[in-house]
Amino acid sequence: MHLHKEVEEHLLRDTFIKFTGEITQMPPVRSHVKRQYRQREVYYSEIIEISGKDVLFKVGVESGTYIRKLIHDMGENLGVGAHMVELRRTKVSTLSEKNNLVTLQDLEDAIHMYVNEKDVRLLNQCIGNIESAIDFIPRIFVSDTTVDPVCHGSPVAIPGIVKLTDFDKGELVAIMTLKGEIIALGKSVLSSEDIKSIKRGVAVKTDSVIMNIGTYPTYKKVN
Amino acid sequence: MKLPLEGLKQDIFSIREEETDLKYGRFPEKRSVEERINYGFILLDKPAGIRSKTAAYIAKKLMAVLGVKKIGYSGTLED
């Protein structure tokens, strides 16, 4: 954040406190959403360093919060004006800078070591499992016999579910194998509690299939 | 203040006990690099000044020698 005029530190700190919690903001003129006032939550806002008119801070916000706008509004509130200089995303969902961040250079080096030196170690560190990106989504684990039909887009019926986490009706749910591999993403037709108490019927509708067809075999129907 | 997904722990409830056939599929943690090349996830530290799309395109070009045909991305930051 770059302030257009110097302000006293306590005033700046007061403004940061004022812009924490529920805030209202108008998306900027050039934005990908409709321009109407929206309520967003600022979970925390922490000043790291103040150097003259420059302020470095860390902020945790609800998705859809415009930081450039937040800074602009804080500048107006202070009466001096301010604009954003640089922004870095340090965290999103369950992923953060603490995970294995890979630069394009790292990736190039890792590929070089793999291709020319037959050394897999760097590449191993670079590429994670796709499941790690969706570990926050509630999930159901289905039997081996259910995997192939789901790969073909079939919904999951209650008898196919072996294990599950908590979710509501209508929620986004990950459909996993018993080995923990992602098969597809779907939408729950019933809540997890209903699934536990009901014996048959559709539980989760399959939306997007991730696993390749043929990973698991087609089992013959027994009846 | 706590973030929405902070300390998230999802308890798994078992409806019944059932085995999985080790002949098919693979435990994610046991996948080889070769398997992850076309079925993996990279947390890319994008440099400032280029678009996410460009970064994904460069990554795809770099990984082409490994036989990667498709790369997608998520998490575009509209500031």
Q: What digits encode the pLDDT tens for the residues B6-35?
A: 888 899 999 999 999 999 999 999 999 999
Domain range annotation of chain B: 40-74
Q: What digits encode the pLDDT tens for the residues A196-215?
A: 999 999 999 999 999 999 99
Same domain assignment for residues A140 and A81: no
Same domain assignment for residues A152 and A114: no
Task: Supply the pLDDT for residue A173.
Answer: 98
Local structure of A117: helix, strand or coil: helix
Same domain assignment for residues A67 and A142: no
B32, closest residue in chain A (CA to CA): A124
> Which of B25, B40, B77 lies at the smallest CB-CB distance from A216?
B25
**pLDDT tens-digit profile, chain A (223 residues):** 999 999 999 999 999 999 999 999 999 998 888 999 999 999 999 999 999 999 999 999 999 999 999 999 999 999 999 999 999 999 998 899 988 899 999 999 999 999 999 999 999 999 999 999 899 999 999 999 999 999 999 999 999 999 999 999 999 999 999 999 999 999 999 999 999 999 999 999 999 999 999 999 998 766 5
- pLDDT above 80: residue B66: yes
How far is Cα A27 from Cα A92, in angstroms, rounded to an integer?
A: 20
Task: Supply the pLDDT for residue A223.
Answer: 55
Same domain assignment for residues A117 and A147: no
What's the pTM value of the predicted model, to 2 decimals? 0.85
Bridge partners, residue A175, by sequence = A140, A184
Q: What digits encode the pLDDT tens for the residues A130-153?
A: 999 899 999 999 999 999 999 999
Q: Domain of A150: which CATH number?
A: 2.30.130.10
B13 interfaces chain A, CB cutoff of 8 Å = yes
Cβ–Cβ under 8 Å, residues A107 and A127: no
B67 interfaces chain A, CB cutoff of 8 Å = no
In a domain, A220, yes or no: no
HEC profile of A49-114: EEECCEEEEEEEECCCCCHHHHHHHHHHHHCCCEECCCCCCCEECCEECCCCCECHHHHHHHHHHH
B42, closest residue in chain A (CA to CA): A127
Same domain assignment for residues A16 and A66: yes
Query: Into how many domains does chain A fold?
Result: 3
The whole domain housing A21 covers 2-88
In a domain, A221, yes or no: no
Residue where one domain finishes, among candidates A113, A128, A143? A128
Same domain assignment for residues A7 and A82: yes
- pLDDT above 60: residue B50: yes
Average pLDDT over residues B42-68: 94
